[in-house]
């Protein structure tokens, strides 16, 4: 084979390695600039991001509060009994009319309680759920609490101070939380929160029942 051809093959072989080498180099090198966009779609547009500034307004806020006197469409939240558990300026002592107390509702409440509340409060509501057991194990570690853990045990729903609470207050605790307990208003819909509150009443009743409240044919097993 003539020398010229051998050289040509060798050189073009080496040149063919260049593009992959350059691509690999670029891919491995950090670049502060955004990648090249051939199609912009709607990735870039003039808009105000949340919490940003807008000099147009005297207070400089881009996010505007509702205009005074604005009325929400659809739900108005004016029904304080249903939405806040408050009736006549006090904690409501009855279920709202939208949520009639039925066996179905209590079963729904039981299912929701078992999902959302048992990790801390336990299935009987006494406050010894699996999270509590784990936390107790961490804080009672022989060499001191793991990672400086502090723990407030979930309060028993059978505590005297909880038993006397009107159902609207229980509903409020589920919605907004209380002291060290977080609220579940954003996760559990209103009706389910009422169902859970009703089920808390079921638990309280069951833990403080007298033998004569047990159906006659079941008393023997006690
Ligand atoms: C992550 C743990 C945790 C979960 C889950 C939880 N709680 Fe609690 N709960 C607590 C703690 C802790 C307290 C006591 C707070 C304190 O005293 O600082 C408490 C207190 C309460 C109280 C007593 C309020 C009072 O007035 O003293 C009620 C009632 C209650 N929880 C109901 C519920 C219900 C119903 C659910 C389910 C929707 C629930 N909790 C889910 C941790 C939890």
Q: Sketch the domain layout of the chain as residue ranges.
A: 85-117+155-208
Q: Residue 117 class from Cβ within 10 Å (0-12 exposed, 13-18 middle, 19+ buried)? A: buried
d(Cα 177, Cα 157) in Å, to the nearest integer?
A: 14
d(Cα 65, Cα 58) in Å, to the nearest integer?
A: 13
Work out the number of other CB atoms within 10 angstroms of the CB of residue 140: 11
The pLDDT of residue 145? 73
Confidence of residue 182 (pLDDT cuts 50, 70, 90): very high
Q: What ligand 1 atom has the least distance to the C-alpha of 153? A: 12
Q: What ligand 1 atom has the least distance to the C-alpha of 118? A: 5
d(Cα 14, Cα 22) in Å, to the nearest integer?
A: 13
Cα Rg, the chain, nearest whole Å? 32
The pLDDT of residue 143? 76
The pLDDT of residue 195? 97
Residue whose Cα lies nearest atom 39 of ligand 1: it is 117
The pLDDT of residue 68? 84
Q: What's the rounded mean pLDDT across residues 198-207?
A: 93
What the block records as the tokens of 189 is 């819909």
> To which CATH superfamily is domain 85-117+155-208 assigned?
Cytochrome c-like domain (1.10.760.10)
Higher pLDDT, 217 or 128: 128
Contact 113, 202 (CB under 8 A): no
Higher pLDDT, 175 or 215: 175
d(Cα 222, Cα 214) in Å, to the nearest integer?
A: 9
Q: What ligand 1 atom has the least distance to the C-alpha of 170? A: 29
Higher pLDDT, 19 or 207: 19
| b/e per residue 54-78 (b: at least 16 CB within 10 A) | eeeeeeeeeeeeeeeeeeeeeeeee
Q: In the chain, what percentage of residues exceed pLDDT 90? A: 66
Q: How far is the CA of 102 from the centre of ligand 1 (A)?
A: 24
The pLDDT tens digits for 55-65 are 999 999 999 98
The pLDDT of residue 83? 94
Q: How far is the CA of 152 from the centre of ligand 1 (A)?
A: 10
The pLDDT of residue 148? 72
d(Cα 80, Cα 25) in Å, to the nearest integer?
A: 64
Please provide residue 177's backbone torsions phi and psi, each rounded to the nearest 5 degrees: 75, 180
Contact 114, 147 (CB under 8 A): no
User: Which residues have any ligand 1 atom within 6 Å of their CB?
Assistant: 116-117, 119-121, 131, 152, 154-155, 157, 161-162, 170, 173-174, 178-181, 184, 196, 200
What the block records as the tokens of 23 is 């691509």
What the block records as the tokens of 198 is 């009703």
Q: How far is the CA of 101 from the centre of ligand 1 (A)?
A: 23
The pLDDT of residue 1? 77
Query: Angle between the 190-207 and 167-176 helix axes, to the nearest 10 degrees?
Result: 120
The reported pTM is 0.71
Is the model's pLDDT at 5 over the cut of 90? yes
Confidence of residue 209 (pLDDT cuts 50, 70, 90): confident
Instruction: Return the best residue to mutate from 152, 178, 187 for the ligand 1 pocket (most ligand atoms within 8 A of CB).
Output: 178
Contact 195, 106 (CB under 8 A): yes
β-pairing, 177-178 vs 86-87, is unpaired
The pLDDT tens digits for 68-113 are 888 777 777 888 999 999 999 999 999 999 999 999 999 999 999 9
Q: What ligand 1 atom has the least distance to the C-alpha of 132? A: 2
């Amino acid at each position: 084979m003539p020398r010229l051809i051998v050289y040509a093959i060798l050189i073009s072989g080496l040149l063919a390695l260049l593009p992959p080498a350059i691509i690999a180099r670029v891919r491995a090198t950090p670049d502060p600039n955004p990648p090249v966009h051939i199609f912009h779609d709607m990735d870039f547009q003039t808009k105000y991001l949340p919490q940003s500034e807008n000099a147009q307004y005297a207070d400089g806020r881009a996010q505007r509060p509702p205009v005074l006197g604005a009325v929400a469409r659809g739900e108005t939240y004016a029904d304080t009994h249903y939405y806040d558990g408050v009736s006549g300026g006090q904690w409501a002592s009855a279920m709202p009319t939208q949520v009639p107390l039925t066996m179905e509702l209590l079963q729904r409440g039981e299912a929701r309680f078992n999902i959302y509340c048992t990790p801390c409060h336990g299935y009987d509501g006494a406050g010894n759920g699996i999270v509590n057991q784990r936390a107790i194990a961490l804080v009672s570690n022989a060499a001191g609490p793991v990672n400086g853990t502090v723990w407030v045990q979930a309060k028993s729903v059978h505590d005297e101070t909880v038993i006397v609470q009107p159902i609207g207050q229980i509903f409020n605790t589920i919605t907004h939380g209380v002291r060290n307990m977080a609220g579940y208003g954003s996760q559990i819909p209103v009706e389910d929160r009422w169902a859970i509150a009703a089920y808390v009443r079921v638990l309280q009743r069951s833990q403080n029942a007298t033998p004569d409240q047990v159906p006659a044919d079941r008393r023997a097993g006690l």
